[in-house]
Chains A and B, each alone.
Chain A
Amino acid sequence: MHAELSKRVGPKLLGMGGYRPAMPAAPHWLLASPLALAYGLFFAAPLLLLAWISLHEDAELTRMGFATWAKFLGDPFYVGVVIKTLKLGIITVIAASVLSYPVALVYYTAGPRVRRILLFVVLLPLLTSVVVRTFAWIALLSREGVANTLLQSSGLTTAPVPLLQTELGLVIALMQIEMPLMLLPLLAVMQRIDPRLVEASRALGASKWRTLAKVLIPLSLPGWVAGATLVFASSTTAFISQSVIGGGRLVYLPTVIWQQAMVLYDWPFAAVASMMLLACVLGGVVLLGLLGRWISREA
């Protein structure tokens, strides 16, 4: 009815020919505004509050200043903690990648039924919580656990190897806990790689390894970048796994944040450590994105 009305009235009112809609079309960004509002309120505002707290000098939040930042960045211990946290993230990404690619390749070459089973197996760890998986690793890595029993009974070692409370044990456990995060994007991208490209490469005389290096890996790179981003962000911030498997001697940024906020009630210092962790994760994400773009240009 509106259309009818405007067809007759519109041109006269507006002095132009043609049909005009009854009301102006809503700008596209209005559709995103509820989510944007929610993000602004519950995500951006608390972050800004955190940054504001970090600019205070004392635990009672009375004086503002940069002293807390100076204390954090000027202490080699805490700078060392930041570096260790970054190192943990990078090593976990590398370890997860090395183990995920073979699985992704099997998936790529498999038929639809095997693909479905493989996807289910990959998803299975995600159905249990991180805490459950972490505690399961304690049973596996402890002195009398499965790993040590296997090593000793197979004759590879004579005494129990300390795996818990070491960085090696932590990386092993984190790698398995984060692997679904690496595998899912990788599998999704692998699925869409055209098999004819591989056939063409082989037909043109490239060996299997060359095909892998020059065709498959570059094509799967967007998936790897997504997976690496998720694994990096997740492993640097994995407080539960770091404290339960890493123990008291491995101190990372999440540990510092928890201690400063919950035990010492030094909120400005905890806020500084939190902002540093945020900066680390964001830095890692940006770098991975740039790396992905550089490699895809080179290939």
Chain B
Amino acid sequence: MTGPAIDRRTVLAGGAALAGSSLLGGPARAAGSMTAAIYPGTWDEAYRRIVAPILKAKHGVDIGFEPLFAVDQLAKVAAARGVSPFDALVLDPGPRAAGIERGLFAPFDPSKLTNADKIPPGYADKYGAAVNAQIVGIVYNPKKLPKPKSWLDLFEEPYVSRLGLTGFQTTFGTVSLIEMAKKLGGSDTDMEPLFAAMKKILPKVAAVTSPAALPGLFQQGQIDVSYTNTNNVASLQARGVDIDIAFPDSGAITFITTLHIAKGAENVAAAYQYIDAALSAEAQAALMKPPANMIPVNKSVKLEGLSIASLDELSKFVSHDWSKINPQRAAWIERFNKEVTK
């Protein structure tokens, strides 16, 4: 045949060239660089703007952020089986407990942080360090609805027909639903009263949605009342949406968000420096300002412009024991699914 012959030599040469070219690639890593998973939205934007430059200036570390929700972060680390795709994770208590159970974190030594003494006791332990306290309450549109006073209000008019329900996939969803169950006669472990009440209001609610879609629905006016954390409220307010948070009479809910180092992370030293930078007074004060409105855990930062005056107020809020809640969550998620499906 005419033209280049496809014989053994050319095939082997071509294959070797292809294989050789793959060696040329590979991530360009400057000395002192790392990847951190971060919540999409406010967190992503705020950390890129505030924490990344501080980390670069103080320790010369370049950081790349990967926007992922908490459950997705754990799923990715678990699927990677020891070679973690990112070095640091940010998690709420529910996913944190799941991560501990599955052994997805590298052992954490709080003494390696320079800011360890500036955070309240118990906020840093052998799994990770808390960088933010979150408050969860009822969110509503003040222009269309009066301020709700209790979780039970959500089951009555005028709120129920404008209600956005979300399930147990997120921490804020789980804690809100637990509080509603408690008000209806249930408890941390008994959700039956809640499911019974939900069955009755399902035909009337405005929307049942995934937590990621919740801000969008508020923005479009599909729902006017729901439950979520203060960070979400702040980011929506910054976008000009009419939304405000109301603390129910049984008490607002609080939990801390923690940073962890993934097992099998490549850049452990840089990860410690990242957590240190996030805990520094400079970063925490900047993160406190709009539009992030994150509650700082560094005691040297004076609280301003937040819904609470000091960190001690948090002790008056409701918090939950996740070791009791986590074993039930899978069953609750499935039950919620089956109840709400048309």
B74 partner residues in chain A, CB cutoff 8 A? 265
Name B98's closest neighbour in chain A (CB-CB).
A265
User: Taking the nearest CB of chain B, how far is it from the CB of A134, in angstroms?
Assistant: 11
* Residue A243, interface by CB 8 Å: yes
Q: Quick one: which of A241-299 are within 8 Å of B by CB?
A: 243-244, 247-251, 259, 261-266
Question: Is B100 positioned at the interface, with any CB of A under 8 Å from its CB?
Answer: no
Which residues from 227 to 247 on chain A have a C-beta closer than 8 Å to any C-beta of chain B? 243-244, 247
What A residues does B330 contact at CB under 8 A?
264, 266
> Is the pair B6, A142 in contact by a Cβ cutoff of 8 Å?
no
Interface-located stretch among B47-55, B113-121, B209-217? B209-217
Inter-chain contact A26/B210, CB cutoff 8 Å = no
Given contacts A247-B208, A265-B78, contact A77 B220 (CB under 8 A): no
- Binding-face segment, B136-144, B164-172, B186-194, B304-312: B164-172
Contacting residues of chain B (1-53) with chain A, CB-CB under 8 angstroms? 5-7
Residues from chain B with Cβ under 8 Å of A247 in the complex: 207-209, 213
A263 near B6: Cβ-Cβ < 8 Å: no
Q: Is A124 an interface residue when CB atoms closer than 8 A count as contact?
A: no
The residue from B71, B166, B222 contacting A248, defined by CB atoms under 8 A apart? B166
A20 at the interface (CB under 8 A from B): no
Flag if A248 contacts B75 (CB, 8 Å).
Answer: no
Contact, CB under 8 Å: A143 / B221: yes
Q: Would you call B220 and A144 a contact (CB within 8 A)?
A: yes
CB under 8 Å from chain A, chain B span 311-342: 330, 333-334, 337-338, 340-342
For A145, list chain B residues within 8 Å (CB).
220
Instruction: Please determine whether B75 and A249 come into contact, CB atoms closer than 8 angstroms.
Output: no
In the bound complex, how far is the Cα of B324 from the Cα of A49, in angstroms?
Answer: 34
Question: Which chain A positions have C-beta within 8 A of B167?
Answer: 248
Looking at chain A's contact residues, the main secondary structure is loop
A260–chain B nearest beta-carbon distance, Å: 9
Q: Which of B71, B220, B337 contacts A143 (CB 8 A)?
A: B220
Q: Is A35 an interface residue (CB 8 A)?
A: no
- Collect the chain A residues with CB atoms within 8 Å of residue B156's CB: none
Contacts of B6 in A (CB 8 A): 26, 31
Q: How far is the CA of A142 from the CA of B138 in the complex (A)?
A: 23
Give Cα A266 to B342, complex, Å: 24
Question: Is B109's CB within 8 Å of the partner chain A?
Answer: no
Instruction: Tell yes or no: B72 within 8 A of A by CB.
Output: yes
Which residue of chain A lies nearest to B329 when distances are taken between CB atoms in the complex?
A264
A23 to B221, CA, bound (A): 74
Is there an interface contact between B71 and A263, defined as CB atoms closer than 8 Å?
yes
Chain B residues within an 8 Å CB radius of A165: 207-209
B341 touches A142 (CB 8 A): no
Closest residue of B by beta carbon distance from A139: B220
- A179 contacts the other chain (Cβ, under 8 Å)? no
Residues of chain A having any CB pair with chain B under 8 Å: 23, 26, 31, 77, 138-139, 142-145, 164-165, 243-244, 247-251, 259, 261-266
18 contacts between A and B (CB under 8 A): A23-B7, A26-B6, A77-B341, A142-B221, A145-B220, A164-B222, A165-B209, A244-B213, A248-B166, A248-B209, A248-B210, A250-B341, A251-B337, A262-B72, A263-B169, A265-B74, A265-B98, A266-B330
Binding site for A on B (CB under 8 A): 5-7, 71-72, 74-75, 78, 98, 102, 165-167, 169, 207-210, 213, 216, 220-222, 330, 333-334, 337-338, 340-342
Beyond A259-B169, A262-B71, list 8 extra A-B contacts (CB 8 Å): A244-B213, A247-B213, A248-B210, A249-B342, A251-B341, A259-B333, A262-B75, A264-B333
